[in-house]
A and B are shown apart, each in its own frame.
Chain A
Amino acid sequence: MNQQLVLRVIAKLLIPFILVFALYVQFHGDFGPGGGFQAGVTLAAAMIFYALIFGLATARRNVPDRLLEGMIAGGVLLYGGVGVAGMLLGGNFLDYFVLDADPVVGQHRGIFWVEAGVALTVSSVMLKLFYLFADRANHSGADVQNDLNRPEGGA
């Protein structure tokens, strides 16, 4: 796969747009369709695409396993942390009205961080699953890219 010029060029062109689209879905979720789940999956899809074209080792160098595992736990902790912050500020668990003097701003802030937590966990779990599957394939003595060279699945 590393030698396929067309795929490499197209991937280099496409991946930034996929990443920007993921961020758009994440931060525009308040106004249009989208949110943490969709943005997380799109982010993971961009990274899987990258791993398919440029090889698992390259992707691993950019997004190492330790970072991913930290993100898996960090997303849930961030979500729970927003809830606990609401409790510390005098509200109920996951009560966003107390996060700011203005309840509407507080709601905005709460939803923003909660969605960020969802996106963190979802994207890292998806990418980690892909790494694990690809690892098993490599360990069984075959090259994962023989079977997984269909970029439309990742985009």
Chain B
Amino acid sequence: MMVVTVVALARSRNLFAVVVLFGAYSFLMATVLVALDAVDVAMTEAAVGAGISTVLFLGALHLCRSEEAKPAHRPLIPLALASGVGALLVYGSLGLPAFSDPTAPIHTHVAPRYLNEGPKETGVPNVVTAVLASYRGYDTFGETTVVFTAGIGVIALLRRRNKNKAEQS
């Protein structure tokens, strides 16, 4: 189903259809994440990917034309580059440990400590929250700052345009 959505996404020239398909794709991705037991990530994907970004894309779409412009040249070189990088990534993924392999480095480094000591040290039953807010507090602080900076940037960009328009008229 996700493959069908992606093919439709790439083929469609109507940007409104693309935005709606993108929302559907996000929702399918969220169900995949639920199947992988990553409920926190699935919730974020459903809320941010399928909800807010669809609304913001529709808002942006309202400001421009809803038909994608025809490309000026044949997409052969980009296609070759994309398939080349894709092949390299697939080749690289062959060297990864098998899915849910208990001896993989990611499961032997800090994960056992988080899982075993986390509930005791922080008293928080949800390990995701404990890792996100406590053990990896710096990272989450950085993420919040990124959201803050992005918001300030958009405010700065769109505000000035408004003021210019007001001065012109």
Contact = CB atoms under 8 A, between A and B. Distances in A.
B162 A139 contact: yes
Q: Is the interface of A mostly helix, strand, loop or mixed?
A: helix
A interface residue count range (under 10 / 10 to 19 / 20 to 34 / 35 or more): 35 or more
A42 B132 CA distance: 19
B52 A44 contact: yes
A53 interface: no
16 contacts: A30-B129, A32-B39, A32-B126, A33-B128, A41-B48, A41-B51, A44-B52, A45-B55, A107-B121, A121-B147, A125-B148, A128-B154, A133-B59, A139-B165, A153-B23, A153-B58
Interface string A36-63: 1110011011001000000000000000
Interface string B141-165: 1011101101110110011011001
Contact of A150 (B58, B125, B128, B138): B58
A148 B133 contact: no
Contact of A108 (B23, B123, B158): B123
A113 to B, nearest CB: 9
A108 B47 contact: no
Interface in B11-66: 23, 39-40, 42-44, 47-48, 51-52, 54-56, 58-63
A45 B47 contact: yes
Contacts of B56: 129-130, 133
A16 interface: no
Contacts of B129: 29-30, 34-35, 111, 115
Contacts of A105: 123
Interface of A: 25, 29-38, 41-42, 44-45, 48, 69, 72-73, 75-76, 79-80, 83, 93-94, 96, 103-105, 107-108, 110-111, 114-115, 117-118, 121-122, 124-126, 128-130, 132-137, 139-140, 142, 144, 146-148, 150, 153-155
A137 B64 CA distance: 10
Contacts of A33: 39-40, 42-43, 126, 128
Nearest to A119: B144
A142 B62 CA distance: 9
Contacts of A94: 137-138, 141
B141 A125 contact: no
B127 to A, nearest CB: 11
